[in-house]
Amino acid sequence: MSALPVIALAPTVLFATSAFAATGPGRRPAAAPRLSEAAALGAAALALAGLGQLLLSGPAVLRLGGEGPLSLVLRLDAVSATMVALVAFIGWVVMRFSRSYLDGEAREGAFHALMLATLASVLLLVQAGSLAVLILGFVAVGAGLRQLLLFYPERAEARRAAAKFSLVWHGGDLALLIAAACLWSATGTAELGRIAALAPAVSGPLLSFGVAFLILAAVLKTAAFPLHGWLTEVMEAPTPVSALLHAGIINGGGFLLIRMAEAVQTSAGAMAALVMLGGLTALFGAVVMLTQSAVKTALAWSTVAQMGFMLLQCGLGLWALAMLHIVAHSLYKAHAFLSSGGAVAAVASLRRPGPIAVPDLVAVLKSFALALALFALVAGLFSLALGPKSPQALALGAMLIFGVAYLVAQGLADAAPVALTRRTAITAAGAAVAYFSFQLLAGLIWGPHLPPVPAAGALEWALIVLAVTSFGLVALAQTLFPLWAHHPATAGLRVHLANGLYLNAVLDRLIGGFRAVKSN
């Protein structure tokens, strides 16, 4: 299948334009902003052409060099084509936004050069077909993002965030390097497609160690608990950097797991670790997010929670849904960051809402029962029409429907009007229908290219029960929050949660971050 995937040209265009923009790093460079946006648009057009090539000619592989561990391979398939199209589209939107946002900055040209180089590195990463390209892509992305985080080097907080990012990200690079060495030794190949084909038939400690370090690399790349702190402190960088990071770069760990899904799924322990750590990160991030008053900081904690949920999906073997999660979260989070300034002004201009209906315990329990009943009904209808669903998919749907239960609780409160009750019930049913519909769509697009959901054994059932119970209890506590929000103990708990239980402060102390800030 040696051919030239069209998407391979996209990072080349961006790297070339980045080099040109770097020649005029100062304020108001002659053509750099316009040319940067045009290059990003060109990369998006190449991404669409790559999708067309995939549909017309099927998967393609471009090999540069020999067959050894340093072989350079680019790959066009459903996963890489989707990721390239997603990253290129978001990159174009971000670069278009940057034209006005950075207009007149002292280092405007340098910013465009760095953004294009980082965007090109992400595009190279997501079409990696060999371990060498995968590692090269991650290292290049980390180097570019570090310079963007230090765009205002005089800010001590920016230096601290960049130091923590480098520590965690490059720690992930080291873990990935060790994993690559183990996987190459275990399978005798560095090409990702061949590793995927050989891994299920390979046994031994080398493969197990390789998968373990793959998990470690993915966990570090997704800012999972407890090394999540750097992701919540990158607001010292310009807003376009935050948008590109939270909508694209942070998904690198999830992409790594999806691309290496066949190898990861050979280890039940690795899958269990992803479920437990991902679930903990998702719950922790979601709870802390509710205590944040700053819009961008709340969005950052939302990203922590979303990345944890993606790790959970991978641990359950729901690879196609994890891909869908990456696409949906990227589009939503890019819009959220780029529109955050306007959103603050819009909210400030609104008339303050009046009193809301506060549901009591009975209404909350009824809401959870109703939401789950509607979910079970929709699941049963889809199963009858399209075949039975896996326990993992049903468990994930139940966790998602817990979020809808809060709305249903508002509708069941005594003070709620009948129209609200009706709308919330329809919302719950609509969410269940949407979940199974999108699950079907994801299965059609990416399912044939990813391993099937593993059969649920004793360990899988234990993890499913643990995950559903944990998410249910946290959702119940959040729904009941208005009933105990004014208790004296709540004020202290809120302070501790708003500070992320001080885990980030521990890392600051370990790397000397406080001294860095104090010195200025």
pLDDT (average), residues 457-474: 89
pLDDT bin (cut points 50, 70, 90) of residue 513 is low
pLDDT bin (cut points 50, 70, 90) of residue 238 is confident
What's the pLDDT tens digit per position in 260-311?
Answer: 999 999 999 999 999 999 999 999 998 888 888 778 788 888 899 999 999 9
Amino acid 277: pLDDT: 94
Amino acid 418: pLDDT: 67
Amino acid 1: pLDDT: 44
pLDDT (average), residues 66-77: 85
CA dihedral 136, 138, 142, 144 (to 10 degrees): 60
Kindly tell me the burial class for residue 93, based on how many C-beta atoms sit within 10 Å of its own C-beta (0-12, 13-18, 19 or more): buried
Ramachandran sector of residue 204 (left: φ over 0; alpha: ψ -120 to 50; beta: rest): left
- Provide DSSP, 303-367: HHHHHHHHHHHHHTT-HHHHHHHHHHHHHHHHHHHHTHHHHHHHHHHSPPP-------HHHHHHH
Amino acid 282: pLDDT: 92
Place of tokens 């690559």: 180
C-alpha to C-alpha distance for 238 and 236, rounded to whole angstroms: 7
pLDDT (average), residues 311-339: 90
Amino acid 212: pLDDT: 95
What's the pLDDT tens digit per position in 97-110?
Answer: 888 888 777 888 88
Q: Which long-range contacts (CB under 8 A, 24 or more apart) does 500-504 make?
A: 500/228, 500/229, 500/232, 500/288, 500/301, 501/288, 503/225, 503/226, 503/228, 503/229, 504/228, 504/229, 504/232, 504/233
Task: Give domain limits for the chain.
Answer: 1-127, 155-342, 353-484
Residue 2 has pLDDT above 70, yes or no: no
C-alpha to C-alpha distance for 507 and 332, rounded to whole angstroms: 30
Amino acid 15: pLDDT: 92
Residue 485 has pLDDT above 90, yes or no: no
Residue 48 has pLDDT above 70, yes or no: yes
pLDDT (average), residues 463-489: 82
pLDDT (average), residues 363-378: 83
Residue 367 has pLDDT above 90, yes or no: no
Amino acid 350: pLDDT: 56
Amino acid 520: pLDDT: 44
Amino acid 510: pLDDT: 74
Q: Are 93 and 39 in contact (CB under 8 A)?
A: no
Amino acid 512: pLDDT: 65
What's the pLDDT tens digit per position in 178-191?
Answer: 999 999 999 999 99
pLDDT bin (cut points 50, 70, 90) of residue 239 is confident
What's the pLDDT tens digit per position in 387-438?
Answer: 888 899 999 988 888 877 777 776 666 655 667 667 777 777 788 888 889 9
**Which range is least confidently modeled, 85-89, 100-104, 315-319, 346-350?**
346-350
Amino acid 417: pLDDT: 63
Q: Which amino acid is at 436?
A: F
Across 4-18, 208-222, 374-388, 474-488, which has the greatest mean pLDDT? 208-222
Top-confidence residue, 516 or 498:
498
Across 18-32, 82-96, 227-241, which has the greatest mean pLDDT? 82-96
Amino acid 296: pLDDT: 79
Mean pLDDT of the chain: 85
226: cis peptide before it, omega within 30°?
yes
C-alpha to C-alpha distance for 140 and 247, rounded to whole angstroms: 18
Amino acid 358: pLDDT: 66
C-alpha to C-alpha distance for 208 and 188, rounded to whole angstroms: 15
